[in-house]
Structure 1
């Protein structure tokens, strides 16, 4: 009876050994997707079975080409010489644990645990390592826009980083967007028909909860024909005095500005002095000084502004008045007359003091 039991045990042992020998190597467990911050530590676990006669390796896969994939370890030994990488093997669970410290952006990717059975046959499992990265604006995003009034505008903004950033649009000083509201969300900001009031600085803002986010300034220049406004359409001045006629011009590109009287273009001479003051790229104040007015200089004056998109004009009427208008008739520091006035006033004051002094002595 004992002999028969020994035979049974022997047969079962042979059967089990044979069964184990016929079992294929398998990967019983691999870590799930790992999401880590830059500078952190990640551990990737791979548990295997029936691999006594085979090599187990870790590799970082290259999505573009398997030939560029990076071998990291074989068995319980590291191949990659990088102090941030380490490997430990737990024989009780037959688990290979790959650890990466001080994670960098370049460590993000797909890691593969593989059992090599032959040159053409292997068992593999993969785990994704994602590294949280602050957002950055991609180079294919819009940098600046120059369009004519009435045209359609399509501004684009794309960003990288992990998690995938969300894009929003704003204007300088939180001004209202042409699409309505002060914030627009999406990769594209479309304006069907842009107006000159829509020009200015737009912000493409990318945020993903990592860091403070980032933004790009997009300068939007709108070309439009000149708009001429006249602050004072009718001005009176007495004969033999100077008078300033003014126009305000709004245009982009900057226009050519001229003054006319009786269809004759005026220039700087002993009768007229023309000045232009650029307040900004789109705004110019122009002044025509009529010098020592004569009868023939009364009438209508036109200030004209023209650029490639069109032209506009404003009319100022100069008429005769009895009483001189100050300024500029009585002088102003703006035109360099203040020093003359202050000198004359001082001379009169001194003369008065001398007279008072003489009268006082005569009475004594």
Structure 2
């Protein structure tokens, strides 16, 4: 089976200049797999739909695709930049060249042009007639460029960089003139679309405890209506339902804002929440972290332990919570619990990363009451008093 290959043009028409009246045939040949399909453009737009313009396409024995654009009874208004575009699922190839038809300047109608604020605007004036001495652009009676963002090229292309609605939307006029001062003019309407801009959302960190209610508001500062809002948690769509296990509800507040509400937060709700606001011009995302502070809870609660002297022993003390709890050990002063001092670790004892206390070859003088505490400054913390009993050596 043949692999896909993007189209490659192996023959194309060249620029030509002719008098009105005769017919003209433009030809392009391309190879590629699957066999490409051709489309034809005039000054960037589909060719006119009338009986004088006929497109044909066939495949040769060598699997080349041949396409013709035949124009009968050429008029001065048919002049312009013609392009053949060969496309298949692997890509496309394009060739463009002018067909000049002697006659007075003429500018074809231009549909409304839209651009997204902040992007560059590119308009090519569709000029026919030949020869043409000059192509100019103006706005409100003033010739362009008027500022550094505007650029006008001899071929009739107008570029406006980093468009802004307040400054760049409106009516532009292209004028084409020949040496005898005969001129044609045509207006084009430019619309600048503004995509949503989200008001910064404060992070919800170190504020929430389990059981509290959390609300995230997402408002747009600017952007064309209508605006659609959606939410994600850790990159996955949020399921909104008062009956959903997640307990997350999303609401549309008005045309410009939406909210996400968690009726009762738990540690499972911690994560990165993203508001996505979209309109016809594009979309913006704003992500905030939400953390739920959880008081310490026992994962492995300490218990009394009895062990023979000389054996290894582990006093379990493991706790979960957010922020991660700090585990500390203290030992009772004397034989009666009530007064404690920080446990002094020696060569034979150490605390594991999970908080448990390990004695290697425990000695009789290690016997006593031990207090394990787990704290993370959320709530009162946890503490548990246990007794380590060290019996005589095992024989």
User: TM-score, normalized by length of structure 2?
Assistant: 0.45
More strand by share: 2
Whose radius of gyration is greater, 1 or 2?
Answer: 1
User: TM-score, normalized by length of structure 1?
Assistant: 0.48
